[in-house]
Amino acid sequence: MPRRSIPRPAKEAGTVIDMKTGQPAKANALPALCKRIRELREKAGIEQKALAARIGVTANAVSNWENGRGRPDINLLPDICNALSVTLYDLFDLDEPALRFSEQEKAHLAGYRQLSPGHRHAIDSLTDTLLEVQAAESSPLLRKLTYYQKSLSAGFGDPAEFDAGGEPIYLYASRDVDRADCVFTVNGDSMEPRFHSGDLVLVSRIPDAPELRHGEIGAFIVGNETYIKVYGEDGLESLNPAYQPLHFHEAESVYLIGRVSSILDPAQIASPEDVDRYRLLHPEEA
């Protein structure tokens, strides 16, 4: 007895079939995301093949998405948005929270539209200022110290020249930064292995800081030179054994700048953006 094939419902190419009924799926049964991709693609005037090339998939993949035979991998959603120049909210046809207005916001907007151009400008300026202040209030805590560009061991000439040679430096607050007054750059290897040439060091000024004791490290001015040395009982000593202690006679003046507290991590130097916000909050220090 010859076999008879079971008749199948006629369907057009690309028709989505409901697996439960075997009939073409109703239009509203197409997944919302699939419909949305087609709508946004056609609105942008992009062919399936062109959209596929932008995303990095095949044209068949895009066709399958739009006809409901498949859905894009979640990792492809940002690429789809970029290709269509839309947001995820647009892709899923959702209201963007940032664009929703409360009743109070609507009232403010309605009032703003009734203002004259001059009064609108005043409101705009005030809003900009308040936003800057708000950003400054949430910025990291900074400390303003003095940075001396001449390196320790580079020479200042005399204490008067030293005091006049600094410039402001803004650092992120920390325990060591809070105790310091100024910053120097180390020059030379006499204090290796603890301090290396080019290191930035934090210094607490004397007499603001407690008295320097023997065995502590300080910054000194001797004649036309500045040094970072250990304050020894018989002179100024180096950590590097290759250097002999510095001895001075009674007629020679040795000035103590301050105690060297620690090496400054360059990452503690505040960014220009944070400095600008700090100056906005503290105009007296600008």
CATH of 27-91, picked from 3.40.50.150, 1.10.3210.10, 1.10.260.40, 3.30.1330.60, is 1.10.260.40
The domains of the chain are located at 27-91, 101-137, 142-272
Q: Residue 48's pLDDT is what?
A: 92
Question: How does strand 142-148 pair with strand 182-185?
Answer: parallel
Structure tokens at 222: 């001797």
CATH of 142-272, picked from 2.10.109.10, 1.25.40.10, 3.40.50.150, 2.60.260.20, is 2.10.109.10
Q: Residue 210's pLDDT is what?
A: 57
Among 215, 182, 186, which Cα is nearest to 198's?
Answer: 186
Structure tokens at 239: 């950590």
pTM over 0.85: no
Question: Do residues 206 and 258 touch, judged by C-beta distance below 8 A?
Answer: yes
Is pLDDT at 200 greater than 70 in this prediction? yes
Residue 11's pLDDT band, with cuts at 50, 70 and 90, is: very low
Which pLDDT tens digit goes with each residue over 252-268? 777 888 889 899 999 99
Residue 80, H or E segment: helix 77-84
Q: Do domains 27-91 and 142-272 have the same CATH topology?
A: no
Among 37, 39, 41, 14, which Cα is nearest to 25's?
Answer: 14
Q: Residue 153's pLDDT is what?
A: 56
Tell me the mean pLDDT in the region 92-118: 83
Residue 135's pLDDT band, with cuts at 50, 70 and 90, is: low
C-alpha–C-alpha distance, residues 248 and 254, integer Å:
8
Among 90, 63, 65, 67, which Cα is nearest to 76's?
Answer: 65
Q: Residue 29's pLDDT is what?
A: 54
Q: Residue 6's pLDDT is what?
A: 44
C-alpha–C-alpha distance, residues 124 and 166, integer Å:
39
Residue 142's pLDDT band, with cuts at 50, 70 and 90, is: confident
C-alpha–C-alpha distance, residues 229 and 236, integer Å:
6
